[in-house]
Amino acid sequence: MKQILELFFIGFLLFLSPANADQNRGAEKMELYGGKNGKVHFPHHRHQTVLNDCSKCHSTFPQRSGSIESMKTEGKLKKKAVMNAVCIQCHRAEKNAGRPSGPVKCSECHIK
């Protein structure tokens, strides 16, 4: 019985290890659909490192590929809602606080 508990504990520690944490971080970089303005290259891991809180973005949309576009199609998310309410708002707040920030102009993210 003691050996089983020890194996369980070791397995649990491996589950919590940093290597396993990286497995659940999603893609390092993503290419998001950007409508008529062109695709958006999104540095996902950079945002995770800086924000350290997935809910800042994912409280608006689920953590699955294509979720933003699906929500727009279903009428659950308005066009530009993520960009205006999440991205630009956060980038401006960081800039106003004197910290490095991301772009705030459409052409700085969208690539035709």
- Which residues, in sequence order, are bridge partners of residue 31? 41
Question: Could you read off the pLDDT of 10-47 as tens digits, one per residue?
Answer: 444 444 444 444 556 889 999 988 888 899 999 999 99
Question: Could you read off the pLDDT of 10-19 as tens digits, one per residue?
Answer: 444 444 444 4
Instruction: Note whether residue 80 is domain-resident.
Output: yes
110 token code pair: 């969208």
Instruction: Note whether residue 14 is domain-resident.
Output: no
pLDDT, position 1: 53
pLDDT(104) > 70: yes
Which run of H or E residues covers position 81? helix 81-82
pLDDT, position 82: 86
- What is the residue whose two structure tokens read 């999440």? 86
Cα(62)–Cα(58) distance, integer angstroms: 6
Question: Could you read off the pLDDT of 48-102 as tens digits, one per residue?
Answer: 998 888 988 898 888 888 898 899 999 998 888 888 888 999 999 999 999 999 9
Instruction: Note whether residue 1 is domain-resident.
Output: no
Range of the domain at 104: 27-111
pLDDT, position 45: 94
Instruction: Note whether residue 11 is domain-resident.
Output: no
Instruction: Note whether residue 5 is domain-resident.
Output: no
3-state helix, strand, coil in the chain (%, to 5): 55, 10, 40
Q: What residues have CB less than 8 Å from 39, skipping those under 6 apart?
A: 31, 32, 33, 110, 111
Other beta carbons less than 10 A from residue 91's beta carbon = 18
Structural domain count of the chain: 1
pTM: 0.70
Task: Answer whether 77's CB lies under 8 Å from 61's CB.
Answer: yes
